[in-house]
Each structure stands twice: as C-alpha cells, then as structure tokens.
Structure 1
C-alpha cells in the first residue's frame, strides 16, 4: 500500500460524529416530545435544537468562537446551561463548566487554566464574572444568563439569532469537547480533556451497562450539578430522546424531588451516595409514588452497606452503582441491580463496586507497575476507550497519571477471583501506624453499622510513638446522644485491635464538596487547628 493511500485511510478513521448531532437526531425523530422541564417551563426537542442553533450561530458569528476555543460557563442548573453544552459542541468549541458553588477566585483560576476566550455566566454570579475579567484569561466576551450589567442576556441573543442556520463542525475522535475540572480535593483542580470520540463511547457504555432499554419514553431527574457526572448522564438521555427534568431551584428540596418523580413518572436518577441517603431517609419517600423508577444510579463515592440496604428496602431492586473518575468519565466498574443484595449471604459480595464496564480493563498494580494477583491490594489502574487523553497543558500531571499506557486512578483496592473490584480507599487516605498500612474505608464501614452513627470519616494523624494513629470523626444519628455511644467497644470484635481509632470525635456535620463528597482534606485542616 502506498504512502498516500495509508494516509487517506488513517485520516478517515479519525472522523467521528459531533456530539451535538444527538440533539439534531432527537429533533428530527421526536420534534413535539418534551425534551426538557424546569419549574413550570417545558421545551420540545424541536425548540431545544432551534435554541442551540441560535446560540451556536451567535458564538461563531458575533463573538468569533472557533473550533478548539474554550468557553467558560458559571451557572446553576438551567436550560441555558444545558443548551450551552451543545452550542459549544456544535461549532467545535470546548465547553468548560464550573461547579457553581466555587468561589470567584477558584473560577478565575479555571478561566486562566483553560485559556477561555469567553464566559457564559448566571446573573447572580457578578463577583465571579468580575474575578474572571480581572484574571489573565484571554476572555473576549461575557454573556449573562438573565439580565445583568456585565453582558447581554442569553435569551435575547437566542431571539436575535433564531432561525439562523449553522454548520455543525467536523470533528475527529481526539478533538476536545469538554474540559472537566477535577474536584481538587488534594490540590488545585486540573482540566481533564474529554473528546468527541471518547464521549460517544461513554454514552454508549452508559446505555449498555447502567440503563439498558432506555428509550424516548423514559424521564430523568437531575439532582446534581450538570457540570460533572450529571451532565454526562444527561448526554445519555439526549442520545435516546428521553426527557430531562430539573429541580425548580438550586436548593436541594427532597419533598419536591419525590413530587417530580411522581408527576413526571421518572425512570432514572443519577446521584451520589450522600444525596441518595437523604432521599430514602426522608418521610417524603413514603408519600409519593416512585414505582416508575427503574434505575437509581449512584457514583462519586463509596456507599456504605447500611445505607445500601436501607435504599434497597425503600426502593426495591433499582440501585446501580458505578465507579470511575472524571478522567474515565465513570467508566471503570458497574454493580447492576441484580448484584445488589439484602443480607450478608455468600452472594452479597459486601463492599464491592462491581465488575469491569463493557470494553474496559482493570488491573491492580504495585508501585513498580507489576500486576498483582486476585486478593492482593494495590493501585487500581484502567485502560479502554473511556479513558481521557490527558490533562490540558499539564505535562507533569500527565506523566504521573499514566504508566505503561494505563491510567492510574490513585484509588487502592483489590479484585477477587471472579473480577469483582473492592475499593479500600484513596492512596492518599491510607496511613501507617506502628509500621502497618491502615485503610480507613474498612473501619468506616464497621462504624457505620452502629445504629447510633449517621456519618463518619476516619483519618490518620501524626503521633510521636506510632507515626500515625486513627481519628474517627462521627456524626450521631438523629435523636441519639453522642455521649452515650461507646464506638470502641462496638468495634472491638469486628476489626483487629491495631486498626482501632485512638480518638472518636462527634461533629454536627461533615464538610462536603459541591458534589456531595466528604472532603477529608478539610477535616484534616480543621483537626490541625
């Protein structure tokens, strides 16, 4: 085969569908079906597609956004944020959403780190806009969601460009479409570059492993920020023409969530364990009809066994767990409904986060990169089409994240002989006491089995004799007097003595990130003070 022919074949193999075509498809197939619901407003697929066209046209023609340019988005969940994702995709730009709960300084850093050329910003975030405008980011324009002094209104722009045709940008597999910033629990957030080809695989995989059988008849409730996992989840809904329903306000109203599940016959929800725990422990779970639910998907952090069992009791066999980082867009393992069990029989596999996702491969590796045998503990590493190509403009982070082609997650765990994965904790959570490695997750599971404990975080703190010792920071269950609890005695016959925490502290609540994860870094800082 001559060189020209080889080049032609190689070039053709990289071209992929622009992700915005999912909306085009839904608009053609289901033009009058409801696509999006927010409060008392609804939009059909035809209307959503038309609005995306209008904003795409404005970004390209009025603001000069080109393929590969980054557009920062600071907003609470709303239809405009949802639309902005596809507007960026459609012209080949990169969507850079922030967690709206972050400070102005944190968002300004992300504007600089991404090299954003423009910003779409909710009008209640004027301080964030000001901080970004004062940063070194090459921002050329600001668009306001709602009227404001810092930029033209998003909806006004859409009206001005309504009906204007826009050409969908041609993209290749590795063309970035989304910069997903890591949560930054151990340092400054990094921009993970997600691509059109990678995300097409992720969407297919989500439909295969998490929500098989999803169609245009389905409906999804959003209870988390669209900037991260919930945004990926909603892409999956768009691919099938299923409707997306937002909570009416940014405040997490549990009663309102259950009311929406009943009203719209919600079939799937994506959430995190802390939110799922709140949902099923609230009395509203028994007041509303939730029989339409088929897939309640939780990810982002481990779900403790006692919380799993309570959710199963309330909701039935609908729980789906997946494990994955933003860099792998959640695609590492899955634990489907038929593997969630009540009780502790031999088939319960207590503590597992499931088996490998379709098309993905997991290995447990030692620090020198050697693959470990079943049952041996090491770092969880993964390869497959869902793994991102790397962090934007961060070669140092990339060199640490990849080894021999494998993405190293920083999570520690082991696999059993049948390929089920068990997470012991973050490598950074492990502490060494008296020469022994101690993984807090195991201890936290045992403490949470106590009926008087609602939440717990175990950390290692410096000790002059043992190097480090464990401290358990606990939240007592409602109605429980913390002074009456003897957790040490409770644990005595459940774990080895050397693993017992040396101190038990009771707080009213544990600090959490904007995505509902307990942030041990903050707990450690508070303990140090």
Structure 2
C-alpha cells in the first residue's frame, strides 16, 4: 500500500472534518487531499516520479505536511531537513541524497542558494515560484485532469530518507520504506495509542521532519485532527492553552520538552484533562522528572524507545507501567518491553547473546527496522550482524523481558580500568533538590585514563558549592563512579529535537580547559 492512501481514506470517510488546524485556519480532509494531489501534479511537471528525491527545508506547517504526502503519492522519496541546520549543512544533504527537486520555505533563501538545485519551489511566501500560487483554488478544484494516479509501490520501495543526528560524524540517511512505515503506523496504534479514532486531537510539539512526522502518519491513518502551534519556537503557555482550547487527546514530545512543559506555571492555569496519551521518546526520562510529570498530569505517560533506524519501535512503557512513587514492585529505570512484532537481544562484542542481567549492546530485529543507510556500505556493514540491527545503546534485560538502558556505547568511559555508565550517576545527581539538569562525560586523565566531569544546571534561586554536591553524592554511589570534577552552567547544549548533546558538552569543556591553560601561561 502506498502510504498516501491513508490520506485518501480519511478524505473519503470524513471529507468535511478538520484535518489540520493552524491558528485561526483549518483544512478539511477533502481539502488536504486535493491540495496534495495538486502539489503532486506540480512536482510531476518538474520531473519527479517514482524513486526521485525531494529535499524539503521548511518549518512545521500545513505545506510541509502536503510535501510529505505528495512525495509518497508519486512514489518519490521525501528528504526533510532539520530547519535549524545551516545552508552548508543542508547543501551536504542535497548532495548526499541526490535530490533533484528542492521545496524551500521563502525565509530560507540562503539554503536554496547553497543547494543550487535547478528545480526549486519556494513555499510559504510571495516568491517567484510560490507554492501557495501553484496550489491555488483553480488547481485544487476537483478536476480529474489535475489528479495524478496514486503510484503503485512495493513493500521495500523507499519513501523517506530519515537523516540521523550525526553526533558521531556526518548525518546518515536511514532509508524508510512504504511497507516498513505501514507496519510502524499499525504498531503505534497498537502499542502507544490504542483506541485512537477520528474523535481524537493531536498537538504537534516537535519538528514534523523527525519522530513527530511518524506520529502524524498515525493520526492520518485514523483521521484524527492535528493542531499546529502558531509559534515555531517552543512556548509552554501556548501549548497548554491549545490543549485546553482544542481538547487535545495526544501529544508526542521528548523528555526535555516534557520537563519544561510540566514545570511551567501555565500548566496549572489550563484544563488538560482531555489528554489520554502523552508520548515521549528520543531518550529515557530521568526518574525525578518522570515522577514530577506523573504528579502533574496523572497516568497518561507513554514512553517508547527506538532510533530513527527502527522508527522508534523497540520498546513501550505503557501508562499502567508508569509509577508516580518509588516502592516495592516498581521497576525503576526501565523503558518497557518489546513492541508488538519486534525482538530484542543483548549481545557482546562478538555477537553472542547475553543472559538476563548482563550488560551489552541492545540489538533488535523485526519489520520496523529500516532498509539500511543510503549509499553507505561501510555503515551498513557495521550496523547489521547476523540479522540484528546494532543500536549502539548499552543495556540489559531482566528475567521478565523489561529493558534497562545504561547509555550510549559512546557515552561510556573507562576510569582506572572500570567501565562507568554516566546515566546511573546522572539519576543520582538529579535526586538533589537543587539540581534540574546534569550531563556527565568522560574526559582524559593522565592517571586514570578518563575521569567523569559532571556539568550541572541549578534550579532557579538555588546555590550549591561543588564540594557540597560531591559530599552529598559520596554515600549514594560507588567511589570509582564519582565524578572527579563538578561544574555549573546556566544551561546544557541541546539538539534541535531537545536532546542533550554530550558531544557538544565535551567540546565546550575542552575549549574551556584550553583557554585556562592559555591564560595561565
């Protein structure tokens, strides 16, 4: 099935119901379907057909959604960027993907110039090739001549180049396919949002070019309404206001954003009782943040663990498995159990499967696993072994099959011959009442090889000397795990998707140390 058929089905069954709401504007399912047909016709006229790559540089909007479905409908490959990337970074994506058409929001003219793709369509403004003009009312009229045929696709035909974050080098294009994504949609409906119907309302709280776009597909499959915030920057007050005004039932976000939302005073000023599924992913949520969110929102949290390469579908921690209080029978730190149709194994460096309780690399297989990286045989060879995809995350399974993530393999450091996993220490640090955020990284040490440096962010109005925090931490964790150095920053560097970027933390620490050495000379 062509993924764009989800939209066609919604338009047939609920033509006059709202599909997208953005500020004071809305588009029905029938209107959205016609606009996608028109956009596909415009793209086809520029030579886009099955297998062609379309680079899209734009912020969240109804037009961004239309580009996704127009690409799918043509059998083309959607190549969305992170709109916060620089023109040079996007130009590299254009070259590496082999894109032959660029759809670019007018405010990103510098990006379009850097990419220099001959076929370029500007959207969201009054430029010379305005997408708004191209899908004007005359073109989106219900005219059979303007309606392209839904391109036939196979299960393994690619539909989306999902670029990784590139924390260990250049971003890699994970190839997502029509069949794989259809399975993921069904899996999301089964494991994350059971009972979702056309009565549901979803609020977008993350870029649609990443996990939120997968979440959107799930809403379209059930003809659930999608609400877009007016601002392209995170605004907790606006989010809570929209949840109350639009009677939102589900949102998808990441732990750091959920933390900001539930700690913002506006949460107490608005009714959020319609929320049934508050889904967070991208990283495990620290326990103290999790307890606060549960106390604020009630039993509506849903966690899933997964990478872009597995489209998020590795584990699920359902609302009933979240607990607001610690105590007997509560499994602290688990990210849940295997998603429906998926399988996990913990493996050592040789590929041997480890027993419950033993820490190793988290590996996964099943229909949600991607088709491989585009034009990158070295990465494919390193990422697949004996039919398993190697996530690069470390963890262990307990006897019940619950997964516990220790951290990224690249986060682990070796101090005095002992492996140290920062996440365990970070969880302890966050129990201190003055700390709101922490990142622990291993830094070179002439004696121990590496030692831990804890970069902490204090809660507003708090002060805390480093030696006092270290004294508080000593009885709570083994001595070899204790950070040898504690520093305080106003904030931690985060990616465009709200995840703390430890590579950036290490870079900033190295630069700070270099400057100290320079000034001491």
What's the counterpart of residue 518 of structure 2? none
What's the counterpart of residue 380 of structure 1? 362
Aligned equivalent of 2:195, options 195, 213, 216: 213
What's the counterpart of residue 119 of structure 2? 141
How far the C-alpha of 1:356 sits from its partner, in A, is: 0.2
How far the C-alpha of 1:55 sits from its partner, in A, is: 0.5
| Residue pair 2:22, 2:230 contacting (<8 A) in 1 also | yes
SS across alignment from 2:465? helix
Aligned equivalent of 2:6, options 22, 25, 34: 22
- Correspondence list, 1:475-514, <5 A: 475-483=457-465, 486-514=468-496
SS across alignment from 2:309? helix
Tell me the distance in 1 between the aligned counterparts of 2:465 and 2:482.
19
What's the counterpart of residue 41 of structure 1? 25
TM-score under structure 2 length normalisation: 0.96
| Residue pair 1:52, 1:87 contacting (<8 A) in 2 also | yes
- Gapped regions of structure 1 (runs ≥ 5): 1-16, 134-138
How far the C-alpha of 1:479 sits from its partner, in A, is: 1.0
How far the C-alpha of 1:346 sits from its partner, in A, is: 2.7
SS across alignment from 1:515? coil
What's the counterpart of residue 10 of structure 1? none
Aligned equivalent of 1:312, options 294, 302, 310: 294
SS across alignment from 1:364? strand
What's the counterpart of residue 11 of structure 1? none
Tell me the distance in 2 between the aligned counterparts of 1:246 and 1:347.
40
Aligned equivalent of 1:51, options 19, 35, 42: 35
CA shift digits 1:248-291 (9 cap, x unpaired) = 02011111110100011100000000000000000111110000
- Correspondence list, 1:419-458, <5 A: 419-458=401-440
How far the C-alpha of 1:348 sits from its partner, in A, is: 1.6
How far the C-alpha of 1:140 sits from its partner, in A, is: 3.2
What's the counterpart of residue 473 of structure 1? 455
- Correspondence list, 1:74-93, <5 A: 74-93=57-76
What's the counterpart of residue 14 of structure 1? none
How far the C-alpha of 1:485 sits from its partner, in A, is: 7.1
SS across alignment from 2:242? helix
Tell me the distance in 1 between the aligned counterparts of 2:371 and 2:259.
34
How far the C-alpha of 1:148 sits from its partner, in A, is: 5.2
| Residue pair 1:31, 1:46 contacting (<8 A) in 2 also | yes
SS across alignment from 1:297? strand
How far the C-alpha of 1:343 sits from its partner, in A, is: 1.7
Tell me the distance in 2 between the aligned counterparts of 1:316 and 1:39.
28
CA shift digits 1:364-393 (9 cap, x unpaired) = 000000000000000000000000010001
- Correspondence list, 1:328-343, <5 A: 328-343=310-325
Tell me the distance in 1 between the aligned counterparts of 2:449 and 2:335.
31
Tell me the distance in 1 between the aligned counterparts of 2:65 and 2:461.
41
How far the C-alpha of 1:185 sits from its partner, in A, is: 1.3
Alignment size in residue pairs: 506
SS across alignment from 1:345? coil
How far the C-alpha of 1:39 sits from its partner, in A, is: 1.3
| Residue pair 1:58, 1:161 contacting (<8 A) in 2 also | no
Tell me the distance in 2 between the aligned counterparts of 1:350 and 1:406.
27
Cα distance change, pair 120–172 in 1 and its aligned pair in 2 (3 A) = same
What's the counterpart of residue 256 of structure 1? 238
How far the C-alpha of 1:146 sits from its partner, in A, is: 2.6
TM-score under structure 1 length normalisation: 0.95
- Correspondence list, 1:94-493, <5 A: 94-133=77-116, 139-147=117-125, 149=127, 151-159=128-136, 161-162=139-140, 163=143, 164-483=146-465, 486-493=468-475
| Residue pair 1:276, 1:298 contacting (<8 A) in 2 also | yes
| Residue pair 2:466, 2:487 contacting (<8 A) in 1 also | no
- Gapped regions of structure 2 (runs ≥ 5): 512-521
| Residue pair 1:277, 1:307 contacting (<8 A) in 2 also | yes
| Residue pair 1:63, 1:141 contacting (<8 A) in 2 also | yes
Q: Provide runs of 4+ in structure 1 moved above 3 Å.
A: 482-485
Tell me the distance in 1 between the aligned counterparts of 2:265 and 2:467.
26
Tell me the distance in 1 between the aligned counterparts of 2:416 and 2:100.
52
What's the counterpart of residue 71 of structure 1? 54
SS across alignment from 1:147? coil
SS across alignment from 1:396? helix
